[in-house]
Chains A and B, each alone.
Chain A
């Protein structure tokens, strides 16, 4: 190892910071850690359980059944041609991914203060690993959805995919960016002041009802007061859920305006998240 006095400094530790300090090279160097964290998240969740990974499947199925009972049977919300159960399952599968990303990343700093307080590695690895491991869970749940989807297709129950299905990867990316971005913002905010943790608890639940998960947007327009319906419509999450159902079930609405506006918002949220996360990661251990 020949290092000489003329060599440049490898790095500098100081209080100064750049606005966006997203060091791809460094993250790449730690890619093995990222993979191991993803593996750890997936493997350890259901250790010492009997049903194991089956729990990934049971969760959305039961929720869909309950939603169908309450909103469609009891509340008589119409889902058009689409079977109620499939409609709910689609919404819940998509919503779950966003929700898991958000709640998984929103306590990054608090949950990992032990490990962050002792060693350095790019902190952003943690929320990234949450997003990726949730993506794998999402694919499992999507598999279940497609199982039912095929069944309903085969009995000719008025569902069919349409060409916007090509945008499917973009929708997944938007959900990931939004969950990650919002999660990073929240986790940074909660390091010093814990107020936000209280909000996250019930806020996510409420947000679901405002994001057209258990009902189609058209119903919202019919039955909600005007301003609430407008809020639901312009909520980027509604756009994602609606778009998701549109491409798979051919129900609801899709506009290029809504799509691009959601894409811009999710990228913005992600960037703001990274900036705030960067600001926090350097000294959060002093205030956590």
Chain B
């Protein structure tokens, strides 16, 4: 049974500042409408690629999005930053309306776009539960019947009659999520709420999400960067790319498509524009070498691997205070392995005269699978304002299953490390 249907959803935004120029466009648009003509600015507008230079003042954040959601289905929506996920959610939750197309629904939609909306600092926790609940569409009677559960779930019982302005930020989030978790809409829209709170609370929140989607048979639209969460919570998935649907299918296939797609963009590292940092130095190229110094694309689990970074220098930095991190991320984008020069006690000051850095790993102990490299160079400390170059998905290394234990058996796939050790039955 189709509970939600999106037909040809498009959303156009104007770039730049609102000023006198906007007024002339507005007047022109109005003049076209008065004469019964089509909006002249709907024809223009370029594909939403954040890194490319704009050739028009208008941009399509979403273009011809079509999908259907069955009742009780959990749909994952994934995509890079700026792919249009949030815009889609905003349209779904009726915060803004689409430029063209329409969404039809047979159930009420409630969204957890960002929890804690409408909390008033001067009101107490309890008063805010009522206010926030009402904003999210609950009636007073509904909230009343769940008040005790909400307070219990939030774990803020002690502070419930204290103004929210005295709360720690973590407590605010707990209280807000607790209110939202007890919403009972037909369709729930969730955007990255799981990224907040401490580990214990996150576990609780994910558990609640699973209850909602599995046990209670609620329809959920789930937007996240956490591929593991998408895989475990969702049945179906949509991949958005530059405002268009790039893939639609099962959640597992969608995650695979997304990750594969990310990798394909790595061919020309030096041309990547999605770098973060002041760019005084740039990682120009990354290559993988074996113990014979041959270029390789994959490594067998447990064998030798050398990562060579070529650094491009745009301006001078304090080489003595340079910090470098080389991280390996698994297919769910979780950190699997991390090397940092400060922990390893190595100073990079010789980089001043040279341009190559090599990381030698005598035994690459990760299980079979493919891993992404994330390289971070900072100056002085690891504060975000001191980032020199941060590049995600800088390269991919394919790890093949190996016979690490010399047991004649290949080790299994997975993202954990296979660390040397011995197994032995002992008496006593």
Contact = CB atoms under 8 A, between A and B. Distances in A.
Interface of A: 1, 3-5, 7-16, 29-30, 32-33, 35-37, 40, 43-44, 47-48, 114-121, 192-193, 282-283, 285-287
A40 B117 contact: no
Q: Sorted from nearest, which 9 A-B pairs have the closest CB atoms?
A: A14-B102, A120-B94, A33-B134, A13-B103, A32-B140, A282-B97, A9-B104, A118-B117, A44-B122
Given A14-B97, A118-B95, 5 more contacts: A40-B120, A118-B93, A118-B113, A118-B117, A285-B90
Nearest to B116: A118
Contacts of A7: 106
A116 B95 contact: yes
B217 to A, nearest CB: 8
Most chain B CB inside 10 Å of its own CB: which residue of A5, A35, A40: A40
B23 A13 contact: no
A256 to B, nearest CB: 39
Nearest to A13: B103
B30 to A, nearest CB: 12
B40 to A, nearest CB: 16
Contacts of A115: 117-118, 135
A214 to B, nearest CB: 35
Most chain B CB inside 10 Å of its own CB: which residue of A10, A16, A116: A10
Contact of A33 (B3, B93, B135): B135
A15 B95 contact: no
Given A115-B117, A115-B118, A12 B102 contact: yes
A3 B135 CA distance: 25
B311 interface: no
B101 interface: yes
A35 B206 CA distance: 33
A48 B23 CA distance: 44
A13 B95 contact: no
B205 to A, nearest CB: 18
A13 B97 contact: yes
A119 B111 contact: yes
A113 to B, nearest CB: 10
12 contacts: A3-B186, A10-B106, A10-B107, A11-B105, A13-B92, A36-B130, A36-B134, A114-B117, A119-B117, A119-B135, A285-B90, A287-B18
B186 A286 contact: no
Contact of B105 (A9, A32, A36): A9
Contact of A9 (B93, B95, B99, B106): B106
A3 B1 contact: yes
B93 A119 contact: yes
Nearest to B94: A120
Most chain B CB inside 10 Å of its own CB: which residue of A9, A13, A16, A47: A13
A5 B102 contact: no
B14 to A, nearest CB: 8
Contacts of A37: 131
Interface string B124-141: 000100110011111110
A176 to B, nearest CB: 23
A28 B257 CA distance: 46
B71 interface: yes
Nearest to B191: A118
A230 B128 CA distance: 51
Interface in B130-163: 130-131, 134-140
A110 B139 CA distance: 26
B113 A30 contact: no
B36 to A, nearest CB: 15
Most chain B CB inside 10 Å of its own CB: which residue of A15, A117, A119: A119
Nearest to A121: B135
Nearest to A32: B140
